[in-house]
Amino acid sequence: FPGQNLRISLPCIQFIYWALIHVENCAGQQKSGLSSTLRRLGEELYRAKTVRFSELEKSPSEIVPSSPSKLDKSKDGIYFRSQNLHVRLLSSLIILKTLSQVDLLAHVFDVLRNDLKSDIAKELFLYYQATPVVLQYLKPVNKTFMGSAMDIFLQMSTDSPFQQPFLETCSTETWFRTIAMVLRAPSQDSKLLEKLSIILQKLSKFRCNRKYFEVYTIVGIIQELLRGCPTDQAFLALNLKSILFNLTSGAAQ
């Protein structure tokens, strides 16, 4: 890995990211044969340390041991731990695509969610077409990270110059298919449903999305949720009613 030189490190991880996207779009067996390589890649980005090559060129007798404090400081600050938002965000996305270790992924989601408070980060998220990267963690099979993935989507859907482009990335068959799986899950988190209802309420304003609500029978699921909605979940009920209204009115975009 090329260390802290941004002119080298950024193009390097950009190449890695788009290569991963390409591999995913090809035959499935290609990626399965790279599992150990991909895992090593994610680990390197997460735990990457800088190396002082000038010291490697010295003979063992010439190397003066550094104090622990100086050594730790010199070894941090690249890729996922970079101070550069662009490098850090892109490294986060690659890690989400390559690792499965729960504690590491939880940390990555926390960092990504915090970064996405910035409009610059939102723009980068869209540039790297990251919605599908996060969407895989919203599936019920990844129950541990469903809340984290939903928080990312909720952050992206807040009022900003990038709200509309983000909602357009959610206006796909894949996104609505995943949402239907979430809504049909046997055990449902009320907070997760509430956050999801906020995004669905915004998506229901797009006329082009009506077909997805119908094809995946999301309308029927929402009606059922509304009938069984407890009295202490008034906000959820309000959003569900708004979704149904948008889908049946002529006010959609």
Residue 68: which domain range? 1-115
Predicted pLDDT of residue 91: 97
Contact 212, 173 (CB under 8 A): yes
DSSP 8-state secondary structure symbol assigned to residue 161: T
Mean pLDDT of 199-208: 97
Based on the fold, state whether residues 97 and 212 are members of the same structural domain.
no
Predicted pLDDT of residue 76: 54
Based on the fold, state whether residues 98 and 214 are members of the same structural domain.
no
Other C-beta atoms lying within 10 Å of the C-beta of residue 9: 21
Measured between alpha carbons, how far is 4 from 58 in angstroms, rounded to an integer?
Answer: 21
The residue from 115, 150, 175 where one domain ends is 115
Based on the fold, state whether residues 21 and 88 are members of the same structural domain.
yes
pLDDT digits (tens, 9 = 90+) for 114-127: 999 999 999 999 99
Joined tokens for residue 11: 């193009």
Per-residue CA distances from 15 to 9, 10, 25, 45, 186 (Å):
10, 9, 15, 14, 40
Decide if 187 is inside a domain.
yes
The residue from 95, 115, 135 where one domain ends is 115
Based on the fold, state whether residues 3 and 99 are members of the same structural domain.
yes
Predicted pLDDT of residue 61: 47
Based on the fold, state whether residues 103 and 143 are members of the same structural domain.
no
The band of 30, judged by pLDDT with boundaries at 50, 70 and 90, is low
Based on the fold, state whether residues 3 and 104 are members of the same structural domain.
yes
Q: Kindly tell me the burial class for residue 88, based on how many C-beta atoms sit within 10 Å of its own C-beta (0-12, 13-18, 19 or more).
A: buried
Based on the fold, state whether residues 150 and 213 are members of the same structural domain.
yes
Based on the fold, state whether residues 63 and 92 are members of the same structural domain.
yes
Decide if 121 is inside a domain.
no
Decide if 120 is inside a domain.
no
Based on the fold, state whether residues 140 and 193 are members of the same structural domain.
yes
- Quote the number of domains for the chain: 2
How high is the mean pLDDT of the chain? 87
The band of 8, judged by pLDDT with boundaries at 50, 70 and 90, is confident
pLDDT digits (tens, 9 = 90+) for 36-64: 999 999 999 998 665 443 443 444 444 44
Based on the fold, state whether residues 74 and 164 are members of the same structural domain.
no
The residue from 52, 82, 115 where one domain ends is 115
Predicted pLDDT of residue 51: 46
Based on the fold, state whether residues 108 and 131 are members of the same structural domain.
no
Based on the fold, state whether residues 134 and 244 are members of the same structural domain.
yes
Nearest Cα residue to 122 out of 135, 133, 112, 132: 112
